[in-house]
Chains A and B, each alone.
Chain A
Amino acid sequence: GIQVEQSPPDLILQEGANSTLRCNFSDSVNNLQWFHQNPWGQLINLFYIPSGTKQNGRLSATTVATERYSLLYISSSQTTDSGVYFCAVAPSDNYGQNFVFGPGTRLSVLP
């Protein structure tokens, strides 16, 4: 099956810093989403981005499907950005079946 890797596994930032999180996947996909799991365990939708670039406030994401990666940019980080960031992909060869999650990047933003 498809392999999903995320890097870095852990990231510690000072408030106000910028960061880039990466998601690599081993096969073509129909769909890609980024989620933020906050310290209370809630999975919050950040981006639905099978291809292209999107921005939402301090966050933006780019997916280059032909090269099998996606990037999540966080600018001017805040302590509320802490948590785990997951990318989830839907493999093209598994049409309509499943989201496969990466292992996540754990982000800690220090005041």
Chain B
Amino acid sequence: DAGVIQSPRHEVTEMGQEVTLRCKPISGHNSLFWYRQTMMRGLELLIYFNNNVPIDDSGMPEDRFSAKMPNASFSTLKIQPSEPRDSAVYFCASSSQGVLTEAFFGQGTRLTVV
């Protein structure tokens, strides 16, 4: 298996622009997580999907952030409008059964908002 695939690897955008990050989980996994990593806050959960349904979105910072999972093989994380404080590395992870099984992470998207 190719593992969790994220795109793009790097994104530089201007403040106020819309940004869309993409994730393809491992085939057969039914749980998907979006994490954000910053120097100040470390790795923190943004949202967790199970069987394509958002289960826990309490980590989504504010209404500018939204996430969708239209099918089992694709998820997006959208920021609109983007702000400089959104600059971070965004990771997607998947597992076969939530947090009860091993999670595998993608390579991350490094977002820079200028």
Contact = CB atoms under 8 A, between A and B. Distances in A.
Contacts of A104: 42
Nearest to B50: A96
Main secondary structure of the interface of A (DSSP, over half): strand
B91 A97 contact: no
Interface stretch (A12-20, A38-46, A56-64, A66-74): A38-46
- Size category of the B interface is 20 to 34
Interface string A67-111: 000000000000000000010101000001111110110000000
A111 B73 CA distance: 43
Contacts of A35: 105
Contacts of A43: 91, 105, 108
A33 interface: yes
A78 to B, nearest CB: 22
Give the one of A30, A86, A99, A101 with max B CB within 10 A.
A99
Interface of A: 30-31, 33, 35, 41-43, 45, 48, 86, 88, 90, 96-101, 103-104
Interface of B: 33, 42-45, 48, 50, 55-56, 89, 91, 93, 98-105, 107-108, 110
